[in-house]
């Protein structure tokens, strides 16, 4: 039993589709407690900083354009093995390879052949990344561990 926190983003494609509630329901049904959340429309500077690790990748500019094309929901999820559990729920980064029943299979907007994968959700890939990504969007006092 290892309680972890992870950073989740519901991306502009999924927000525009009106599936925030359906995705939140998957978190709640799978033991991932939402302990902080907010909607924002990222600035170009914010999106470039958040995805700085991908700066040299060919899809970087398209990724930034995609992430600032509309508002996103950002949330901190907490639960047992939350990082791995959430990555399983999301499915493969390329929606073409996402398994049936995963969030990306059900809600991603592209077929996997686009310049950038409009893949509905983002999730941290390790404990170290999770800490950095949570701090990117939330102050410590905005996080509300469940007391009941
Ligand atoms: P995410 O999990 O938010 O992390 C980086 C994002 O870049 C990823 O989801 C996709 O939206 C996009 N991405 C990653 N790899 C590729 C790729 N090979 N081609 C296109 N887009 C990608």
Q: Is the CB of 60 under 6 A from ligand 1?
A: no
Spell out a b/e string for 37-56, using b for 16 or more CB atoms within 10 Å of the CB, else e.
Answer: beeeebeeebbbebbeeeee
List, in sequence order, every residue forming a beta bridge with 78; answer none if it has no partner: 5, 33
pLDDT for 111: 67
Q: Which residues of the chain have pLDDT under 70?
A: 111-112
pLDDT for 1: 77
Taking Cα atoms as reference points, which of 34, 132, 22, 127 lies closest to residue 77?
34
Distance 137 CA to ligand 1 centre (A): 19
pLDDT for 75: 98
């Amino acid at each position: 039993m290892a309680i972890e926190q992870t950073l989740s983003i519901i991306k502009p494609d999924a927000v525009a589709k009106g599936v925030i509630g359906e995705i939140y329901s998957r978190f709640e049904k799978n033991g991932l407690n939402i302990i902080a959340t907010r909607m924002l429309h990222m600035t170009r500077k914010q999106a470039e900083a958040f995805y700085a690790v991908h700066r040299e990748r060919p899809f970087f500019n398209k990724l930034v354009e995609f992430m600032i094309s509309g508002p996103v929901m950002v949330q901190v999820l907490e639960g047992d093995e939350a990082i791995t559990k959430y990555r399983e729920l999301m499915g493969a980064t390329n929606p073409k390879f996402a398994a049936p029943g995963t969030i990306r299979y059900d809600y991603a907007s592209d077929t996997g052949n686009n310049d950038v994968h409009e893949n509905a959700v983002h999730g941290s890939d390790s404990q170290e990344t999770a800490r950095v990504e949570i701090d990117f969007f939330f102050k410590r006092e905005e996080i509300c561990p469940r007391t009941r």
